Amino acid sequence: MTRATRASAPVVARQSPTPIHRRIPLPATLFTTGLLIQQLALARRKTSVTAMIAAGIVVGISANIGIESFREFSRCATSHNPLRPERAAVLVTTGPNRYSRNPMYLALAGTLTAGAIARRCPLALVPVGGFIAAVSAWQIRQEEATLTSLFPHRYARYCQRVPRWFSWRRALG
């Protein structure tokens, strides 16, 4: 007696799902978390017209920095994707990148700062500090290592000239 065997389906290697931190950019996650913390903790804080005007100015400046930085990356035809810093085709040192090595993150930190100004509460600056510390430790260091390997000499000179976040002396002088 022979036994009939079924043809087995081909074995397909299962790919593990992409980790969440590789699908959603960390800076966006941290920024959103900072906004939520400010909103939940300080939603009932009263504001004033003066605070709202000051916050509006900070948001406007921050938005301009972020948009101009994004445009500069597009103009230089290089990646602005924080999930894939290795795709950088060129080292962008023009536009807002003349004053900050991380103008897009600076714009997000500025927007969080505007939230603190609008709420008129120094405690609302805690998410700003958390955002800066976390992005510096978990995102910027990775990007810096990648840029160092892609553009070793140019990036080293750029780091000597331009601060990681911002310098009033550089901007005004």
Structure confidence by residue, pLDDT tens digits, 72-110? 999 999 998 888 889 999 999 999 999 999 999 999 999
Distance, in Å, from the CA atom of 26 to the CA atom of 138, rounded to the nearest integer, reads 8
Query: What's the mean pLDDT in 117-134?
Result: 90
What's the pLDDT score for residue 107? 96
Question: Taking the CA of residue 52 as centre, how many other CA atoms within 13 Å lie in the half-sphere pointing to its CB?
Answer: 5
CB 22 within 8 A of CB 83: yes
What's the pLDDT score for residue 34? 81
CB 95 within 8 A of CB 72: yes
List pLDDT tens digits, range 25-60: 778 788 888 878 777 766 677 888 999 999 999 999
CB atoms under 10 Å from CB of 74, counted, come to 10
What's the pLDDT score for residue 5? 44
pTM score above 0.85: no
Distance, in Å, from the CA atom of 122 to the CA atom of 65, rounded to the nearest integer, reads 24
Amino acid at 95: G
What's the pLDDT score for residue 106? 97
Distance, in Å, from the CA atom of 161 to the CA atom of 9, rounded to the nearest integer, reads 60
If one compares 172 and 53, the residue with the highest pLDDT of the two is 53
- Tokens standing for residue 45: 């804080």
List pLDDT tens digits, range 144-160: 999 999 999 999 999 99
